[in-house]
Amino acid sequence: MKNSVRLPAFAKINLCLHVLGPRPDGYHELRTIFQTIGLRDKLELSRTAHPGITLEVNDASLPAGPENLVYRAIDSIGGEIGFRGGVHARLEKRIPVARGLGGGSSDAAAALIGMQRLSGKKLPLARLMEIAAGLGADVPFFLFGGRALAVNRGDEIYPLPNVPKRTILVVSPRNISVSTRDAYQWLSAELTNRSEPHRIWGFCALCWSRRGAGISNDFEAPVFGRHPRLGEIRDGLLKRGAADAALAGSGSAVFGVFRNPAQARRAARAFPEDSAFVVETLSRENYGRALRWRVNG
């Protein structure tokens, strides 16, 4: 049992993201390959003498109550692990918000992991996945990290072999944010013209091979149509040496894959008005070591 724990909460990119169509439950059927990257938030959880949850966030635009996924994650798992007493959470945000990088989902997963470390108790993976999926479709992935195939709503996770480490330049555009709800609405018209859904194994073979090619994202056409500058950022990354580039999730961040950090840093100079992050992909093993966490079946 610990008095406090500190954890990183890493961002993700989607190496491939295909939306097959709406589901009866109101969500959409997805086929995507997630990859964690080194861009991270920081979360600290501490025991308090008084019961209840308090949350401190360094970004004033984010809620610090039950609307925040970290708060909800702590509340959801506390009873499951028999946690007694109170918890104070301090969240330091660095992952840009509403940019398709999964920061909120990663924060929630870090809170689930942190609460287990704080209490010294560990839930069965199946139950932990249920809690994670109840918080958000991307949250289960962040219990694994690395590279993984996700299907259904994006909450059914199949870890994939790691690929060699790559340098990623993430460009978060100034004053452009895209809500996930809006992005799906924009994509809806295109889904009616979609041909036969992709087969899973064919999809895996096409998505980001070990040579680094094959990145694709179904959201690009509708999102770039409404925010042309995002398409210009992608093209600018390719022009400056990226092996491939794409929208991150439903946007609005755009990322490029580069041969090395020096090349990525040179490319970043072309976007002085935006936030640019030069990071590397993170394997599942390094992800687990960083969070001091190992998934048990």
Q: Show the tokens assigned to 223.
A: 């999102």
Q: How far apart are CA 190 and CA 197, in angstroms?
A: 13
89: domain range? Answer: 4-161
Q: Are residues 187 and 155 in the same domain?
A: no
Q: Are residues 193 and 270 in the same domain?
A: yes
Q: Which of 41, 93, 107, 138 is catalytic?
A: 138
Confirm whether 138 is a catalytic residue. yes
pLDDT at 260: 97
Query: Which among 215, 218, 199 is positioned nearest to 207, based on CA atoms?
Result: 215
pLDDT at 206: 55
Q: Are residues 21 and 120 in the same domain?
A: yes
Q: Are residues 147 and 111 in the same domain?
A: yes
pLDDT at 211: 45
Q: Please work out, in degrees rounded to the nearest 5, the angle formed at the alpha carbon of residue 157 by the alpha carbons of 152 and 160.
A: 125
Q: Are residues 128 and 199 in the same domain?
A: no
297 in any annotated domain: no
Q: Are residues 100 and 25 in the same domain?
A: yes
Q: Which of 12, 107, 155, 244 is catalytic?
A: 12
Q: Are residues 198 and 149 in the same domain?
A: no
Whether 143 contacts 129, CB under 8 Å? yes
pLDDT at 197: 53
pLDDT at 290: 98
pLDDT at 210: 47
Lookup result for tokens 């950022």: 233
Q: Are residues 36 and 156 in the same domain?
A: yes
289 in any annotated domain: no
pLDDT at 227: 97
Task: Report in angstroms the alpha-carbon separations of 147 from 91, 92, 133, 172.
Answer: 25, 25, 18, 22
Strand-strand pairing, 4-22 and 28-48: antiparallel
Residues of the chain with pLDDT under 70: 1, 189-190, 192-214, 297
Query: Which among 130, 132, 90 is positioned nearest to 108, based on CA atoms?
Result: 132
Q: Are residues 97 and 201 in the same domain?
A: no
Q: Are residues 121 and 51 in the same domain?
A: yes
13 in any annotated domain: yes
Q: Are residues 146 and 171 in the same domain?
A: no
208 in any annotated domain: yes
pTM of the model: 0.93
pLDDT at 215: 87
Q: How many domains does the chain contain in total?
A: 2
Contacts of 120 (CB under 8 A, 6+ apart): 1, 2
